[in-house]
Structure 1
Amino acid sequence: MNTLSRKIIMAATGLFLCFFLLIHFLGNTQLFLEPEHARLSFNAYSHFLTGNPLVKMVSYVLYASIIGHAIYALLITAKNKAAGGSYKKDNRGRASKWYSRNMGVLGTIVLIFIVLHFQNFWYVYKFGEIGLDTNGNKDLYAVVVAAFQELWLVVVYVIAMIALCYHLIHGITSGVRTLGLFHPKYVRWVNIVGVVYSVVICVGFAAMPLFIYFTNSK
C-alpha cells in the first residue's frame, strides 16, 4: 500500500473519529446535570450504548478506526523519517504551525490518553464489579465521579484535551484536503469550522472532569 492510500485511510478514520467525538461529547454533557438526575440519565445512556445491537456494530467500527488511524500514522511517520522527511529537520517553522510539525507527538499523547480512558471506564464497565442505580442500570456515573476525585487524573485529562485540540485543528483540515473535499474557495471557512469544532469539543471534554472534581470535593 502506497503513502497516498495510507493517508486516505488516515483521513477517513480520523474524520469518522471526529464524528464520534461529537456524539460522545453530546452524551457526556449529562454529567453537568444535577447529581441524582445526572446519575440516572448518564447510566441509562451508558446502558443504551452497550445494549443496542446497532450501536455495538458502530463500536466495532470505532475500535477499528482507532487502531487503523494509529497504525497508519506510525507507518507514515516511519516512512517520512526513513526518507529524511522528519518534521524536525525540514525547517518549515515559518511556513507551518508548530502543531502541524508535531502531529506524531500530539497523536501519541492522545493514544496514551485513549488507553487510560478505556482502562478507567470501558474496562471497568465491561468487566468490573460496580453497583446498580435505582433503575437497575450499572452505576457508571459513580465510577466517573470517583475517578475524577483524583487530581492527577483530572490534570492528565486536561493536558490530553489540549493535545487533542491541536491534533484536531490540523487533522480536520488535512483530512478534508486528503479526501479531495477541499475547495480553494472555502479554505478559510473549512479552517474556521475546524478550529471552532476542535476548541468547543476539547474545552467541553476538559470541563467535565474539572466540574466533577470541584463540585464533588469534600
Structure 2
Amino acid sequence: MKPTHSLVWETTGIHDAIIDSGLKIPKNERLLLWFDEKWSPKTNTFVTLEDIMVLGGFSVLGAPVTCQVESPEDHAALDELVHVFRSRSKKASLSAWMNIFKGTQNALEHEAFLAFWLSKYLFAYVKDTVLPETFRMAILLAKGRRIALTPAILATLYQDLHFLQDAIIDVMQGVGSYVVKGVFSTMYYAQAWIWERFSNVSPTGETRLARW
C-alpha cells in the first residue's frame, strides 16, 4: 500500500499514523492502572487533543468521523464494501477481510485496507472485526479527503479510561473480583504520554511514539 498510496496518506494527514501502527509498544499494565487511578473523568485531565495529534500523527481538522458519502461513485463503493461484509455472515474477521482484498488488484483494495486499519488500530470496540462504520471514512480518505480523527480517538480513549477506572473502583470496594484489562482503544497513547512526561518511569530518554 505505501508505495502506491503514501502521497494520499500525506494529503489526508494519516501517513505517520499508518506507519506507526506497525510498531510494537510493550504494554505496561501496572503503569496504565496507576495512571487510570489518577485520571479524572469529570475534567478529562492529562491527555489532550494536542497529545493525540503529536503522538499519533492524526489530523485535528477535516470532516467529522460521522461523514457521509455523496457522489454516485462513492455510494457504489460503499454498497460493494457492505456487500462483501454481509457475505461474511454479518461479521468479517480482520484476517478474512484482508484475504479477500490483499493483492487482488480489486478497485477497492485501498478503501478495504483503510477500513481494516481504522477497525483494528483506531476504533476497535469489537475485537478482531472489520467495522462497517468505518467504510464511509475509508472511502473519503482514499480519495484524499482529510478527516478529523483526533477528537474521535481521544473520546474513545477517555471512554475506556472511564470504563477501566470504574472496574478498579469496583475491585477496591469489593464489588468486583478483577480489573478489566481487555479495553480495545489505543491505550498505548496514554502509556506514551506517561513516558513522555515522567522520566523516572520512562524506559528510555527519548520521546515520541516511534521511539517507544
TM-score by length of 1: 0.29
TM-score by length of 2: 0.29
Structure richer in helix, relative to its length = 1
